[in-house]
Structure 1
Amino acid sequence: MVLSPNKYSHRIRFERQAAHDDGYGNVTQGWEDPLDLGSRWCGLLLPPRFGAEPVEAGRPQASQRAVITVLRDSLTTAVTEADRAVFVAGPYKGQVAQIRAARPRTEGAEIEFDLEMGVAV
C-alpha cells in the first residue's frame, strides 16, 4: 500500500443522502453535509493496482479501492456505509467515494473507512 507522506494530508467531507420537501409536496433526493459540521483531515492508503481492470456485466470497471484514517469524534463515529465521502483538498479534490466499511483502530483514537472511488453513488 502507498501511504501519504503526511499522515493527515487529505481533506474529506462526509455527506448523507436526504429528502427535501419544497413546501408544495415535491420531494427531491440529494446529498448534504450532515449537520453542517464541515470536513475532516484524513490519511489515505491506496492499494497497488495490477494490470487488468475488473470486469462487471461485460464492461471494464475503473473503480479504485482506498482506505482513509480520520480522528475519532462525534461526526466520524456517526458515519455509516449509507454515506459518501468527497475529497475537498489534495490531489483527489472533487473525487467522490462510496463508503464500504467503517472500523475503529485498535487504539480507539482513529477510525478507518474502506472507500470505493469511481462508482456511481
Structure 2
Amino acid sequence: MAQDDSIELKFRLFDGSDIGPDKYDPATTVASLKEVILARWPQDKEITPKTINDVKLINAGKILENNQTLAESRVPVGELPGGVITMHVVVRPPQLDKNNVCTEKQLGDAQKQNRCTCTVL
C-alpha cells in the first residue's frame, strides 16, 4: 500500500468514543472495515455487535454497502492532507423473533412496572 494512496479513518461510536485512527488502502472493502471494528470493539460497551451485519457505517450521510471498496464508496482520497476521515458507526438493535410476542399477562406485568412496550405484528 503506497503511503500517498492510503486513507486515514477513525470510527466514531454511538457514545462519542473512537476506534482508530488507522490507515487503509482504497481497495479495502466496507465488510473488511466492519471486521476490524468488531475485533477492536471496546469490551466495556453495553451494546455490542455480533456480526458485520449488525454494524452500519455512515460516511458523508450515506450508509456504506459491505461489497463496496473505500474508493467505490467515494471516500475522499488525499483531499485532507494529514487529515483523518471520521465514519460513524451505528449498531442495529437486536431483533426479536417473530414468535416472541408478549402475552396479555406479560403486557399487564410490564404496565404494572411502569414500562412502555411495543408489539410489531
Which has the larger share of strand?
1
- TM-score normalised by structure 1 residue count: 0.29
Q: Which has the higher helix share?
A: 2
Pair member with larger Rg: 2
